[in-house]
Structures are given as structure tokens and as C-alpha cells.
Amino acid sequence: MALITCPECGREISDQAAACPHCGYPIGSPQKKSYSVVLVDNGTMTDLQELIDLYHLSKEEASAAMTAVTDHHPATLVSGLPLTEAEALPQKMSNPALVRVVPDEEAEDKEALRRAPVPESGKHGMSFGATVGAVILGVIAAILILSFL
């Protein structure tokens, strides 16, 4: 069992859940759907090298994808992935806002991809472990500050 992010409330839930237990959003069966990672914004030469390395593209394929995006045509980098794999790829990039994860059927609708806003990176919040660590650090800092008063 893997954890996925609920598209409605953003909380982590089981990939086996039929609906989000927090907000009730129907999840369906993500195992039956396949997803694509689509380049929606071009970047720098450093980003070009990341596309080559991470998505296993040739230099020509990566350059063609970036050129297509320059001409306002989103380019599919990889398709046919389970949701968890597709969502993991952008997080490995230094600039995940360059790409978007969409169901395979939406990756074919280039006009809709052009109109859709590009999501901002860094809006996923902290993981559970990072949250616990921050709380512990805060408590320790409070104790230290109070001990000097």
C-alpha cells in the first residue's frame, strides 16, 4: 500500500481508498488510470539536462520538448505511469513547476493544457516526520528560552 495525495484536500491517503476519509472526495482506482508528466514551461540549459537524465530522453527529444513549449505547445515527457510514479518525478526536479502530472487522456488535449494555470512549486506542505521534528525543536527552544528567564 502506498500513500497518495488527495486532489481535493491535499492530505495523504491510501492508494487503495475509494474516497478520501478526510473530505470524502471520490478517489476511484488510481491503479487502473495512467498518468503523464507534461512539460508546460521551458527552463534553462540546466533544466534541459535534468529532462535528459530524469525522463531518459535524448538531447534531441528534450530540446524538441522545450522548443514546443516555447511555441506554447505543452510536450508530454512520459506517459502510462501509475499516479505515485508520475507524482514522484517532478519532485526530483530542481524546478518542479516546469511540469504537470495529468491523466493520460488529458495529456492529449493540448489546448486545455495551454489554458490551465501552471501550479506553483512548494505548496505541498511538510511531511509528517518534518512536522514532528519542527514541533520537537520548538518545544526544546521554548524550554531553553524559559530556563533563562
List the domain boundaries for the chain: 1-29, 33-119
Burial (CB count <10 Å: 0-12, 13-18, 19+), residue 103? middle
CA distances from 118 to 44, 46, 115 (A): 17, 20, 9
Provide the CB-side half-sphere exposure for 43 (13 A, CA): 18
Measured at the CA of 12, the angle between CA 9 and CA 13, to 5 degrees, comes to 100
CATH number for the domain running over 33-119:
3.30.1390.10
Q: Is the pLDDT of residue 73 over 70?
A: yes
- What are the grid coordinates assigned to 75, written together? 510536450
Cβ distance 106 to 112 under 8 Å?
A: yes
pLDDT at 115: 57
What was the pLDDT predicted at 130?
A: 80
What is the chain's mean pLDDT, rounded? Answer: 80
Predicted local confidence at residue 136, as pLDDT: 94
pLDDT over 70 at 125, yes or no: no
pLDDT of residue 113: 63
| pLDDT score of 83 | 86
Query: Would you say residue 30 has pLDDT above 50?
Result: no
pLDDT mean over 119-136: 70
Give CA–CA dist 68/33, Å, rounded.
26
Confidence of residue 126 (pLDDT cuts 50, 70, 90): low
pLDDT at 139 over 90: yes
Q: Distance of CA 4 to CAs 18, 19, 63, 87, 91, Å?
A: 12, 12, 31, 9, 14
Indicate the SS3 state at residue 13: strand
Percent of the chain with pLDDT over 90: 9
